[in-house]
């Protein structure tokens, strides 16, 4: 047994004189300040002009208005549900469980772009389709697509600047052509994208629109082979060109037509995977991939039920395009991470707000 | 009076878990403030933040159990009873925060209806029902608790520097990552 008994652990030396302790206090303060400064730096406090998710959503609110409880973009919409029937063809491209042969439930939301949930439907307004695939193993695949052939910009700053360049002037109610000109001079990719839009006129409705992922992703198969892909929902409903809305048609004529047709019969889209080749750009969604890329039909999306946002689970879903199952991975496209961050910020803001009724009301869906 | 040699340090496992927690929590707080301010790295950082939070939850549970079954070194003789009270209370508070913060994160993702992905196809079950109202409250709580935890860490760090550089009572030796000889 040790013979020592307990003793005070350390002998405390005599207190320091003020002269000797002051520099030590200063050193402690300096260390603490440095840590605080490092965290402020990480939090972006020293770069107030850098675009963050919060500043991006501020921009959406400034240009589109703040409407309590609604998404800051693609505010007007309806919920839908149905299922995806996989034909098994996707399995050689991706090991994601969603591509195994079988049927899995899907919740979705059709929308129009812009922050105004009461905007009048117009043929040229960008149409969105958000989908959530519930995989049997508990994983999820979420995607938010639009009916444009390419994205108008290649990065988040471009999107932000485009918001301001296309914001209607309060006097003329039209975007200032000078601002748009200046923007296009700065963003040749947007000028090119606008040209592509002209050769892809919108269809007559939601039901015969093609919805595109635009961003590139990576599919990883069971052998670990990773390939770049983009995906599209190709409608089985026949294409008809959009005409100008007839005067008699209501403010929500596109949604009304969607509701009427989905109640008549289920609407279907083929889920098409476009396989990229080495050299195809994956970090710029404003550039289309060359024609002739392999297209794989991996199954059919059927949407057989439509609901107002008041009752649809879609209202409370963030269709964050970065929610991916194993077997689908992000590419190097800067828009994916940016969209994920901005969607999350928009979701957080609207989650805490009082819900106001959507333009497409339950009675509108039932009639 | 005890006849055994008074232990000068926390046990090796306690010290290891302390410094592991310190590294994890500092990394976590840094990722947390950086991810909400970044468009380019948001997705990557969130993908690290989630599993790291669950790891911290696991570590703090192990740490708590380990502490319950470990002998503790005494405070330096020069520490007043008030100082001892503050030290003990802050330790309790740290345990509560390190346990509650990851749980709030987990609960908040559950309430948002997000899948709680750790890595690959591995994901956790939701611990709360899908409710955006609940999400909004928990999301705010998560931020507030994280800032408070950061302030606690700063105070903790300042206190240990004060004891080491000004009082010089060897308080730091109790938790030093290396072994202190008697």
Is the pLDDT confidence value at B5 over 80?
Answer: no
Determine the Cα–Cα distance for residues A22 and B140; give it in Å rounded to an integer.
Answer: 40
Query: Which pLDDT does position A5 carry in this prediction?
Result: 38
**A-contacting residues in B 57-86 (Cβ below 8 Å):** 73-74, 76-78
Is B56 inside a domain boundary? Answer: yes
Partner-chain contact B137 A352, CB within 8 Å: yes
Let me know if residue B141 belongs to a domain.
Answer: yes
* Within-domain flag for B179: no
* Residue A21 resides in a domain: no
- The token pair at A32 is 């603490």
- B128 touches A: beta carbon within 8 Å: no
- Please state, rounded to an integer, the average pLDDT across all residues of chain B: 94
Flag whether pLDDT at A52 surpasses 50.
yes
Do residues A335 and B39 lie in contact, with contact meaning Cβ atoms separated by under 8 Å? Answer: no
ipTM of the predicted assembly exceeds 0.90: yes
The Cα A285–Cα A1 span in angstroms is 76
Residue of A nearest to B31 (CA): A42
From B38's Cα to the closest Cα of chain A, the distance in A is 5
Distance CA A169, CA A179 (A): 10
Q: Among all residues of chain B, which has the CA nearest to that of A14?
A: B167
pLDDT (0 to 100) of residue B182: 62
For residue B1, is it within any domain?
A: no
Give the whole-angstrom CA distance, residue A288 versus residue A214: 9
- Looking at chain A from residue 253 to 312, which residues have their Cβ under 8 Å from any Cβ of chain B? none
DSSP lists the bridge partners of residue A228 as A218
Tally of domains in chain A: 1
Kindly state whether residue B125 falls inside one of the protein's structural domains: yes
Cross-chain Cβ contact B120/A326 below 8 Å: yes
Considering the domain boundaries, does residue A165 fall inside one? no
CB-based contact, A65 to chain B, within 8 Å:
no
Nearest to B166 among A16, A50, A318 (CB): A16
Alpha carbon distances (Å) from A107 to A48, A165, A255: 38, 34, 17
Determine the pLDDT at residue A3.
38
* Pairwise CA distance, residues B135 & B146, whole Å: 16
Nearest C-alpha neighbor of A287 from the set A126, A150, A146: A150
Q: Is pLDDT above 50 for A6?
A: no
Residue B126 touches partner A, C-beta closer than 8 Å: no
Task: Give pLDDT, residue B178.
Answer: 92
Residues of B in contact with A33 (CB under 8 A): none
Q: DSSP letters of A87-143?
A: -SGGGGT---GGGSSEEEEEEEEEEESSS-TTPPP-TTSPEEEEEEEE-TTS-EEEE
> What is the mean pLDDT of the segment spanning A61-69?
94
Domain presence at residue A183: no
Please report, for chain A, how many H helices and E strands are present, in that order: 8, 10
Helix (H, G, I), strand (E, B) or coil at A109: strand
Among A91-100, A164-173, A250-259, A305-314, the least confident range? A164-173
Q: Within a domain: residue A312? A: yes
Q: What secondary structure letter does DSSP report for B162? A: I
pLDDT over 50 (residue B116): yes
Active site residues of A: 74
Cβ-contact B116, B50 below 8 angstroms: yes
Token pair belonging to A359: 């333009």
Q: Among the listed ranges A228-242, A279-293, A353-367, B16-30, which one has the minimum average pLDDT value?
A: A353-367
A313 contacts in chain B (CB < 8 Å): 130
A163 part of a folded domain:
no
Q: Domain for residue B126, yes or no?
A: yes
Number of structural domains in chain B: 1
Can you give the residue range of the structural domain that contains B53? 12-70+81-174
Q: Which residue range forms the structural domain that includes residue A323?
A: 51-152+201-366
Q: Tell me the whole-structure pTM to 2 decimals.
A: 0.93
Residue A69 domain-assigned?
Answer: yes
pLDDT average, residue stretch A294-299: 98
Sequential DSSP letters for A38-81:
HHHHHTTTT-TTS--HHHHHHHHHHHH---TTS-SSS-EEEEEE
Q: CB of B117 within 8 A of CB of B53? A: no
User: Does residue B151 belong to any structural domain of this protein?
Assistant: yes
In a domain, B98, yes or no: yes
What does the pLDDT average to over B49-55? 98
Which residues does A100 contact at the CB level (< 8 Å), separation at least 6? A86, A88, A91
- Predicted local distance difference test score (pLDDT) of residue B6: 67
- For residue A267, being part of any structural domain is answered with yes
Q: Residue B6 class from Cβ within 10 Å (0-12 exposed, 13-18 middle, 19+ buried)?
A: middle
B133/A351 touch (CB, cutoff 8 Å), yes or no = yes
Nearest to A42 among B33, B40, B117 (CB): B33
Interchain CB distance below 8 Å, B170 and A9: yes
Cα–Cα distance between B115 and B50 in angstroms, integer?
Answer: 11
Residue A76 is assigned to a structural domain of this protein: yes
CATH code assigned at A212: 2.40.180.10
CB contact under 8 A, B132 and A340: no
């Amino acid at each position: 047994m040790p013979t020592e008994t307990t003793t005070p652990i350390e002998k405390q030396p005599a207190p320091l004189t003020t002269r000797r302790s002051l520099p030590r206090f200063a050193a402690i303060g300096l260390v603490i300040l440095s840590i605080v400064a490092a965290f402020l730096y990480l939090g972006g406090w020293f770069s107030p002009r850098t675009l963050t998710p919060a500043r991006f959503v501020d921009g959406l609110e400034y240009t589109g208005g703040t409407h309590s409880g609604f998404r800051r973009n693609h505010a007007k919409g309806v919920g839908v549900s149905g299922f995806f029937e996989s034909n098994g063809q996707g399995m050689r491209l991706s090991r994601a469980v969603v591509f195994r042969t079988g049927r899995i439930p899907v919740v979705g939301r059709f929308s129009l772009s812009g922050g105004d949930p009461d905007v009048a439907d117009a043929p040229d307004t960008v149409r969105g389709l958000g989908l959530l695939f519930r995989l049997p193993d508990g994983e999820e695949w979420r995607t938010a697509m639009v009916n444009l052939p390419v994205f108008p910009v290649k990065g988040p700053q471009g999107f932000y600047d485009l918001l301001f360049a296309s914001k209607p002037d309060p006097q003329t109610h039209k975007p200032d052509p000078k601002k748009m000109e200046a923007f296009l001079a700065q963003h040749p990719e947007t000028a090119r994208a606008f040209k592509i839009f002209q050769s892809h006129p919108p269809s007559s409705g939601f039901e015969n629109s093609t919805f595109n992922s635009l961003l590139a992703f990576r599919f990883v198969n069971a052998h670990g082979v990773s390939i770049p892909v983009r995906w599209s929902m190709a409608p089985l409903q026949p294409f008809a060109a959009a005409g100008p809305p007839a005067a008699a048609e209501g403010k929500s004529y596109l949604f009304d037509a969607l509701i009427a047709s989905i109640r008549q019969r289920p609407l279907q889209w083929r889920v098409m995977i476009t396989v990229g080749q080495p050299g195809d750009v994956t970090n710029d969604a404003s550039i289309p991939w060359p024609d002739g890329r392999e297209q794989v039909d991996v199954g059919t999306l059927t949407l057989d039920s439509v609901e107002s946002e008041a009752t649809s689970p879609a209202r409370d879903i963030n269709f964050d395009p970065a929610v991916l199952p194993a077997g689908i991975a992000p590419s190097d496209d800067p828009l994916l991470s940016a969209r994920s961050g901005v969607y999350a910020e928009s979701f957080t803001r609207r989650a805490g707000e009082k819900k106001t009724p959507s333009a497409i009301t339950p009675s509108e869906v039932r009639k | 009076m005890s006849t055994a040699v008074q232990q000068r340090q926390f046990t090796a496992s306690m010290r290891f878990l302390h410094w592991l927690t310190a590294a994890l929590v500092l990394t976590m707080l840094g990722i947390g403030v950086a991810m909400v301010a970044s468009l380019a790295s948001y997705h990557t950082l969130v993908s690290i933040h989630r599993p790291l939070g669950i790891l911290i939850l696991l570590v703090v549970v192990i740490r708590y159990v380990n502490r319950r079954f470990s002998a503790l070194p005494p405070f330096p003789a020069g520490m007043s009873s008030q100082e001892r009270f503050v030290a003990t209370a802050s330790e309790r508070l740290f345990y509560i925060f390190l346990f509650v913060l990851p749980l709030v994160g987990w609960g908040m993702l559950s309430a948002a209806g997000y899948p709680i992905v750790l890595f690959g196809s591995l994901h956790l079950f939701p611990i709360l029902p899908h409710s955006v109202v609940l999400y909004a409250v928990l999301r705010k709580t998560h931020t507030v608790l994280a800032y408070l935890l950061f302030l606690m860490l700063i105070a903790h760090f300042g206190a240990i520097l004060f004891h080491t550089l000004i009082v010089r009572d060897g308080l730091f030796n109790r938790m030093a990552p290396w072994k202190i000889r008697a």
